[in-house]
Amino acid sequence: MMEKINVLDRKIAFYKQKEDDYICITDIAKYKDSKRTDYIIQNWLRNKNTIEFLGIWEQLNNPNFNPTEFDGFRKQAGLNSFILTAKRWIGKTNAIGLISKSGRYGGTYAHKDIAFEFASWISVEFKLYLIKEFQRLKEQEQKQLGWDIKRNLVKINYKIHTGAIKENLIPKEITKQQINQIYASEADVLNVALFGMTAKDWRDNNPGKKGNIRDYANVSQLVCLSNLENLNALFINEGLAQDKRLIKLNKIAIQQMRLLAENGTVKKLKSKDN
């Protein structure tokens, strides 16, 4: 998926290919001259230092790179007659660091290592702002990824929990509404054990908020909830009555929340979420 970042009032496109980020150096070239981007990129490519940099990068990252063609370009680099385009470099050397795209998002794209090098050639100031903005974006992605992992962990344990309910607490031949009531009842066992209230109690106390009580849980509560779901599934499989399970789970929740409150890793996660 193509995305854009704003660097010194310029929109710079980039996208992820597998695990690598590719930045549009055509957009970067516009910072120098918006009407002659192809010429600027070609002028950069014919530079001997650029050829050396691209060749070494490919040798480190591309097992299919053609070193013979690279040596040919390196010998010609710097000559007045030498002209090199991105397409020619890619076609002759099997390079993966540069990508030439056509269509709506057409232009020359470069792996971020190479794009930062190109940006430095265009403007040191622009390069620094580009790196800063790109790092900020990646930090946001990591925060979102961390939150998604925590939520998905709870979802996985939720399936274990509901599976235990289905196998042990739902009688045969009852209505879908009755089944949903049993699931909701067991979910509220966890809610009361951890939060001290049912889902309905929370909604009544927070009429202006969207979502449910678990959407507003902090890191420690999500970790504890994940553990409680597994334990409640175990207690259900052992045939323990709901009222006795609630008492045991509440005691465990209190103990775990005290331990989590003192855990350094959890404190760091909390500060990042904040």
Distance CA 223, CA 106 (A): 45
Which tokens is 128 given? 């620094």
Asked if 62 and 107 sit in the same domain, the reply is yes
Indicate the number of domains in the chain: 2
Model pTM?
A: 0.52
Asked if 197 and 115 sit in the same domain, the reply is no
Strands 10-17 and 3-7: antiparallel
In a domain, 134, yes or no: no
Question: At 132, which amino acid appears?
Answer: K
- Cβ-based neighbour number of residue 110 at 10 Å: 26
| Secondary structure string (H, E, C) spanning 133-159 | HHHHHHHHHHHHHHHHHHHHHHHHHHH
Residue 17, Cα to own-chain centre: how many angstroms?
14
Those residues whose C-beta lies under 8 Å from the C-beta of residue 199, and which sit 6 or more positions away, are 184, 187, 188, 191, 212, 213
Are the C-beta atoms of 74 and 59 separated by less than 8 Å? no
Asked if 149 and 118 sit in the same domain, the reply is no
User: How do the pLDDT tens digits run along the chain, 274 residues long?
Assistant: 677 888 888 888 888 887 788 999 999 999 888 888 999 999 999 889 999 999 999 999 999 999 999 999 988 887 888 888 999 999 999 999 999 887 666 789 999 999 999 999 998 888 888 888 888 887 776 666 555 555 555 665 666 666 666 667 555 555 677 677 777 788 888 888 888 888 889 889 988 887 888 888 887 788 788 888 888 888 888 888 888 888 888 888 888 788 776 655 544 545 555 5
What is the span of the domain harbouring residue 158?
139-273
Asked if 194 and 265 sit in the same domain, the reply is yes
